[in-house]
Chain A
Amino acid sequence: MKRIYLDSNATTPMRPEVWAAMLPTFNENFGNPSSIHWFGQQAKALLDSARQEVARLIHAESSEIVFLGGGTEADNLAIRGIAEAHKAKGRHIITSKIEHHAVLHTCKDLEKQGWEITWLNVSRDGLVDPEDVQKAIRTDTVLITIMHANNEIGTIEPIEEIGRIAEQADVYFHSDGVQSTGKIPVDLKKLKVDLYSMSAHKIHGPKGVGALFIRKGTILKPLLTGGGHERNRRSGTENVAGIVGFGHAAKMAREGFDSETAHMRELRDRLEAGLKARIASIHVNAETAPRLPNTSNIMVDFAEGEGLVISLDLKGVAVSTGSACSSGSLEPSHVLTAIGKTPDEAHGSLRFSLNAMNTVEDVDYVLGVLPGIADRLRELSPFYKRA
């Protein structure tokens, strides 16, 4: 069966050039970058150039890039690292209700340890209001953490404005950039962001490697004690293979940025327009908000997201749902409930997330099969009345 992958906010296929770049690190360039001999220095050079590439993608200095084990670790290091280092100033953190679980559960854990967390609401389009951030700041606030783009609905948060507010209030600002990196322009020379999380496998790099941008001068406590790697930010021998892959993926994301993001946007718009023309009573969540070019979160009335996902999978199309039925819990998506969807509506949602390798044929195949699937599931619904 032909298989079409439209779940790129979960992960992306590695580009062949990326794993080709990684291969030598498994044999001839196996050295430990901390070693001063030839083998070590070969590995160190690879690490340095990967660091430069990741830095270039987001307009940062390479000394501000810390490699670590992925987006979740980056979020943990940013939040816990700042909290722990600055708890003498206060124990208050500001975040939103639609953060990724890596931020959400880290803040909840700190809440259990006695930190006060302000959980900001978002608009029906999934946007944080910078004024709410401003109002939430207190003298004991040590950190604001608001994601750059949401993984489920793709909304792009106003982090430029929030950054200015944070800077004026002299509060650290972390943004989870896992979904935005490589998909929208990110310029950390302009953004007043102190910490920015990234993940390699969302941009056609390998899994298990990510990075945290830490602006020069930022004081934070590392999560791990050890040999003091990564400028004392992240101890442990570097994942050279993964980092080299990340660097190469970042380079390709930068070089192909204009054409690839335009391509994804074109496909996404074709998908949404096509589905709206072919299926009655479907809605695009956060449709009018600024959104990632690759993400489309769609609600199909009278059909459950999980049933749609399984049906599409049986036709060879991989997508996902925000509805928790697929992830093992029964609660509806915290993002969709935060934008005001009822549990029923939230359970009917379907997330398409594209990547640069997708084609018009992929989208047209979905446009061909989804109307029939929606029809079939609706016919099974006790609530559906055919118009």
Chain B
Amino acid sequence: MAYSSKLLDYFENPRCAGELPDANAVAEVSNPICGDAMKLWLKVDGNRIVDARFKTQGCSAAIATSSYATEMIIGMDLMQARAVTKEQIADALGGLPASKMHCSVLAADAIRAALKGFA
């Protein structure tokens, strides 16, 4: 398995965990096979994500990638945020075994799902 120390750090000390009461974009995505689920709250101001929080039930990689992606998109414009890929998230955390790639899909999918109503 051999997770990177960066991934383990995001798992043990997740950034941006919790709910965002004044969010104006919310999405919940899940992986039916492994049961992992992520909920993402975004505060969008104009064309930019100004704040974000997440909650995830899943394995350590799912939690770490959720946290990393949520932290990463704060400050991004909507086009940048929509362009975030699962590979990008996984690579930033030292890579994931092929079988674990489904975990980080959650975050990339959650971002796009949350931004659906925005131009």
A interface residue numbers (CB < 8 A to B) = 302-304, 306-307, 310-311, 314, 325-326, 328-332, 343-344, 347, 377, 379-384
Contact = CB atoms under 8 A, between A and B. Distances in A.
Contacts of B1: 326
Contacts, number: 70
B57 A382 contact: yes
A343 B3 contact: no
Given A310-B11, A380-B14, A330 B33 contact: yes
Contacts of A344: 35
A56 B17 CA distance: 57
B93 to A, nearest CB: 14
Contacts of A326: 1, 59
A279 B35 CA distance: 22
A382 B34 CA distance: 16
List 6 tightest A-B contacts by C-beta distance, closest first: A382-B39, A306-B59, A381-B57, A382-B55, A310-B60, A344-B35
A304 B55 contact: no
9 contacts: A303-B57, A347-B34, A380-B57, A381-B55, A382-B37, A382-B38, A382-B39, A382-B55, A382-B56
B75 interface: no
A82 to B, nearest CB: 35
Interface string B90-117: 0000000101101000000000000000
Given A306-B59, A380-B56, 8 more contacts: A307-B11, A307-B58, A310-B11, A325-B34, A325-B59, A380-B17, A380-B57, A382-B57
B63 A328 contact: no
B77 interface: no
Nearest to B58: A304
Nearest to A331: B33
A142 to B, nearest CB: 36
A332 B59 CA distance: 13
Contacts of B55: 380-382
A331 B99 CA distance: 11
B28 A310 contact: no
A307 B59 contact: yes
A310 B8 contact: yes
Given A304-B35, A314-B12, A343-B33, A328 B59 contact: no
A383 B99 CA distance: 25
Contacts of A377: 57, 63
Interface string B38-59: 1100000000000000011111
B56 A329 contact: no
A380 B57 CA distance: 7
A326 B99 CA distance: 10
Contact of A314 (B8, B17, B57): B8
Contact of A307 (B28, B63, B99, B102): B63
B107 to A, nearest CB: 13
A314 B8 CA distance: 9
B99 A302 contact: no
B40 to A, nearest CB: 9
Nearest to A379: B17
Contact of A310 (B3, B57, B99): B3
B104 to A, nearest CB: 13
Contacts of A332: 34-35
A381 B99 contact: no
Contacts of B62: 304
Contacts of A328: 97, 99
A343 B34 CA distance: 7
A108 B106 CA distance: 34
Contacts of A314: 8, 12
Contacts of A306: 59-60
Contacts of A379: 17
A77 B1 CA distance: 31
Contacts of B38: 382
A330 B11 contact: no
A306 B60 CA distance: 7
Contacts of A331: 33
A311 B12 CA distance: 7
